[in-house]
Amino acid sequence: MQVVITGGCGFIGRRLALKLLEQGVLANPSGGMDEIKSLVLFDVGEPTPVIPSDPRLKIVTGDICSEADISALISPETSIVYHFAAVVSSGAEADFDLGMNVNFDGTRTVLEVCRKLETPPRLIFASSVAAYGGDMPDVIQDSTIQRPQTSYGVQKAMCELLVNDYTRKGFIDGRTLRLPTIVVRPGKPNKAASTWASSIIREPLQGQEAICPVSGNQAMWCLSPRRVVDAFVRAASLSGDEIGANRAIGISGTTYTVREMLDALVSVAGTQMLDRIRWEPDSGIQAIVSGWPTHFNPVRGMSLGFSYDKSMVEIIESFIEDELDGTFVS
């Protein structure tokens, strides 16, 4: 079996790739196990840090909007496509054309290439809770209507509908995971409006200063890197009958305010962590984040076996173990 990951050199794609290489197989919807003989990571650049060499692994660079590049990437041997390639939230809001080209047109390109295959592949698309917005109920239900208030959210919502329709037509066997904010991400801050949610944990643990641009009362629906990788592995094993006609699944997470995140940080690493956080309100970031929902009741996701972290302390401790070799700067 060949697995393709677009955006495969990014944070989630890289972690998923390492997980797939480690386990060597993926469960299929029939209940069996398929051996992963080839894993292809597609991105605009090489992975950082470098992924250890493996005879099953191939890294390809190119343009997600190029039909020629994607046609060379997704072949008749491809059984599963994980589609992560995207411009992040603030970037898509700041540059409308770039967001539309990569997030919408790029997804359409991937879907069209998959459509040409004789055997429809399983396509697993990474969406976001930013696909909601506007006048929302206090708790988002599986049936809540999507009214995104950012270009990024609109692009994700449109792609969700495309995945549904291409599946209905038999072009792909699609499934969409509507992701919470993933914390704690390693590396450096990026252009995502939610980047601060990782920074306020990650930087202090490494003895560095972090900037928090939002209110301490701002809440966020969160999931750890460990759990999101588990979710994408789980998604590949589900059958169409299990998922149903609506292929978009809200997966499980937990809601924390900024202050609750910092309380957990203090309980793990001490009060000195707070001295490394600088509060600099940013009305633009606050406006984007305030438009995202914060509380969910993902009944379908729970029933389909998607798990979540039990506490913010668990999330922080897993980051220290996975990314900091079990230590932090006190």
**pLDDT exceeding 90 applies to what percent of the chain?**
90
pLDDT of 207: 97
Which of the residues are catalytic?
152
Residue identified by tokens 């029939």 is 30
**For residues 135 and 149, what is the distance between their CA atoms, to the nearest angstrom?**
10
CB 82 within 8 A of CB 3: yes
pLDDT above 80 for 277 = yes
Q: Evaluate if residue 191 carries a pLDDT over 80.
A: no
Q: What is the mean pLDDT of the segment spanning 207-216?
A: 97
Q: Report residue 254 as tokens.
A: 């937990």
Q: Write down all domains in the chain, each with its CATH number in brackets.
A: 2-180+223-250 (3.40.50.720)
Q: Alpha carbon of 104 to those of 87, 193, 236, 279: distances in Å?
A: 10, 19, 23, 34
Concatenated DSSP letters for 303-321? HTT----S-HHHHHHHHHH
CA distance readout (Å), 66 to 219, 242, 291: 38, 34, 33
Is the pLDDT score of 187 beyond 90? no
Please choose, from the candidates 284, 273, 142, 297, the residue with its C-alpha nearest in 3D space to the C-alpha of residue 210.
273
Through-space distance between the first and last CA atoms of the chain, rounded to whole angstroms: 46
DSSP state of 210: E
Q: Per-residue confidence at 316, pLDDT binned at 50, 70, 90?
A: very high
Answer yes or no: is pLDDT of 184 > 90: yes
**What is the model's pLDDT at position 223?**
97
pLDDT for residue 49? 82
Give the per-residue pLDDT at 180. Answer: 93
Confidence of residue 86 (pLDDT cuts 50, 70, 90): very high
Arithmetic mean of pLDDT, 101-119: 97
- Percent of the chain having pLDDT more than 70? 100
Q: Considering only 71-85, 230-244, 279-293, which range has the smallest mean pLDDT?
A: 279-293
Question: Where residue 283 falls among pLDDT bands split at 50, 70, 90?
Answer: very high
Query: What's the chain's average pLDDT?
Result: 95
What's the pLDDT at 193?
Answer: 85
Contact 2, 37 (CB under 8 A): yes
Mean pLDDT on 193-219? 96
| Structural element, H or E, at residue 32 | none
Q: Give the C-alpha separation, 272 to 312, whole Å.
A: 18
Q: What is the pLDDT of residues 229-260, one digit of tens each?
A: 999 999 999 999 999 999 999 999 999 999 99
Find the mean pLDDT for residues 217-228.
96
Name the least confident of 46-55, 171-180, 251-260.
46-55
